[in-house]
Amino acid sequence: MRAVQVSKPGGPFELVEREVPRTGPRQVRVKVKACGLCHSDALTKEGHWPGIVYPRVPGHEIAGVIDEVGSDVPRWKTGQRVGIGWLGGYCGHCESCRRGSFVTCANQLITGITMDGGYQDFVVVPFEGLALIPDGISSVDAGPLMCAGITTFNSLRNSGARGGDRVAVLGVGGLGHLAVQFAAKMGFYTIAIARGKDKEPLARELGARHYIDSTAVDPAVALQQLGGAQIVVATATNAQAMAATIGGLAVDGRLIVLGADFTPMPLNTAALIGKRAGIYGWPSGSSIDSEDTMRFSALTGVRPMTETFPLEKAAEAYDRMMSNRARFRVVITTGSPDAS
């Protein structure tokens, strides 16, 4: 089979032939149909995640079909269409797992980082990480829903916002174009915030009721003119841009940080007090959250916008994704036909 691996931090993508891997007792083998690319793939490519064992195959937005099932795997069957996201597996015995919070597992397996991911024809994964893909969701669409999708969907549905509340989405990109759709379909008064006018027509098409060009107006003032946002979902990886929205929060408003920026955020902490406002981060979720994301998408018509590349052009696909010019998620395909 073909695999695209990275052999050392900062090394190039290498297209290699590997033996098709066999399953262990609690694993399944998935014939990969599609794998979305995510900025976090750079953690593997550049070696920014501590302790990665190379060579490593990146990719944590996997969609495919089960083609071999280990001896101790309950429930799952060959031929089922499944997705695998960031959380590849969890230990079941750390404090988080014992409290039922698998995504914060202290010993988690991360797809494409601590175990091989989806830039290949077949991948072997623990069954705990599998999410069933519903009919009506193609493999190319399922891929991005496994990271960009679940992260935006799951953070919004756990944000405490209620139908009709004002929810602002900062950034209309890979995560943001999904967050706008999810927020609108969940019944929130959805406000998109981005730089410039270019993305306004699309943001409105995706369900935004209001668009704020952060280069033309102060987003905090603009949000306050609308009555304040109960939630700002920050998908843009820019701490400055996030900080600029805090003054636009309503009473008890929350800024949810989804985009990872490693530069410090300038913040007037006094502004949080009177409004009881808060800032917190949100990781993706567990496999059942992925399944919920896809079922909600099937139900409401939420879909990622994608550009596809064949597996052998993974390097080109990666450069396209990193350029931030893709509209909006880049997906590699293996050429195996969809089972359904």
Looking at residues 18 to 47 of the shown chain, list those that interact with Zn ion (rule: CB under 5 A).
38, 40
Nearer to Zn ion (CB atom), residue 38 or residue 220: 38
Nearer to Zn ion (CB atom), residue 88 or residue 219: 88
Residue 163, token pair as written in the block: 């139908």
Tell me the window of 89-97, 196-204, 245-253, 260-268 that interacts with Zn ion (CB under 5 A): 89-97
Residue 3, token pair as written in the block: 């695999």
CA angle 298-64-332, nearest 5°?
95
Nearer to Zn ion (CB atom), residue 33 or residue 60: 60
Count how many residues are written for the chain.
340
Least distance between Zn ion and beta carbon 93 (Å) = 6
Question: Does residue 103 bind Zn ion (CB under 5 A)?
Answer: no
Q: CA quadruple 288, 290, 292, 298: dihedral positive or negative?
A: negative
Q: Between 48 and 87, how does the x/- string for binding to Zn ion read (CB under 5 A)?
A: ----------------------------------------
Q: Which residues does 284 contact at the CB level (< 8 Å), separation at least 6?
A: 85, 86, 87, 103, 147, 150, 151, 154, 290
Tell me the window of 6-14, 102-110, 116-124, 235-243 that interacts with Zn ion (CB under 5 A): 102-110
The single residue among 105, 123, 130, 232 that binds Zn ion, judged by CB under 5 A, is 105
On whether the CB atoms of residues 324 and 195 are closer than 8 A, the answer is no
Least distance between Zn ion and beta carbon 142 (Å) = 14
Residue 149, token pair as written in the block: 């999708």
Least distance between Zn ion and beta carbon 284 (Å) = 7
Nearer to Zn ion (CB atom), residue 1 or residue 94: 94
Q: d(Cα 222, Cα 213) in Å, to the nearest integer?
A: 9
Nearer to Zn ion (CB atom), residue 38 or residue 242: 38
Q: Which residues does 121 contact at the CB level (< 8 Å), separation at least 6?
A: 1, 2, 3, 20, 31, 32, 311, 334, 336
Least distance between Zn ion and beta carbon 223 (Å) = 27
Least distance between Zn ion and beta carbon 173 (Å) = 13
How far separated are the first and last CA of the chain, in Å rounded? 22
DSSP β-bridge partners for residue 261: none
Tell me the window of 88-96, 234-242, 245-253, 330-338 that interacts with Zn ion (CB under 5 A): 88-96
Least distance between Zn ion and beta carbon 41 (Å) = 7
Least distance between Zn ion and beta carbon 78 (Å) = 27
Looking at residues 239 to 298 of the shown chain, list those that interact with Zn ion (rule: CB under 5 A).
none
- Residue 277: count of CB within 10 angstroms of its CB: 20
Tell me the window of 90-98, 167-175, 235-243, 323-331 that interacts with Zn ion (CB under 5 A): 90-98
Looking at residues 143 to 182 of the shown chain, list those that interact with Zn ion (rule: CB under 5 A).
147
Question: Does residue 97 bind Zn ion (CB under 5 A)?
Answer: yes
Nearer to Zn ion (CB atom), residue 5 or residue 152: 152
Backbone φ and ψ of 257, nearest 5°: -95, 115
Q: d(Cα 115, Cα 60) in Å, to the nearest integer?
A: 10
Question: Does residue 94 bind Zn ion (CB under 5 A)?
Answer: yes
- 307-310 contacts at long range (C-beta below 8 A, 24 or more positions apart): 307/331, 308/34, 308/140, 308/332, 308/333, 309/333, 310/334, 310/335
Nearer to Zn ion (CB atom), residue 146 or residue 255: 146
DSSP β-bridge partners for residue 71: none
Question: Does residue 322 bind Zn ion (CB under 5 A)?
Answer: no
Looking at residues 108 to 147 of the shown chain, list those that interact with Zn ion (rule: CB under 5 A).
147
Tell me the window of 20-28, 101-109, 112-120, 248-256 that interacts with Zn ion (CB under 5 A): 101-109
On whether the CB atoms of residues 120 and 18 are closer than 8 A, the answer is yes
Binding site for Zn ion (CB under 5 A): 38, 40, 90-91, 94, 97, 105, 147
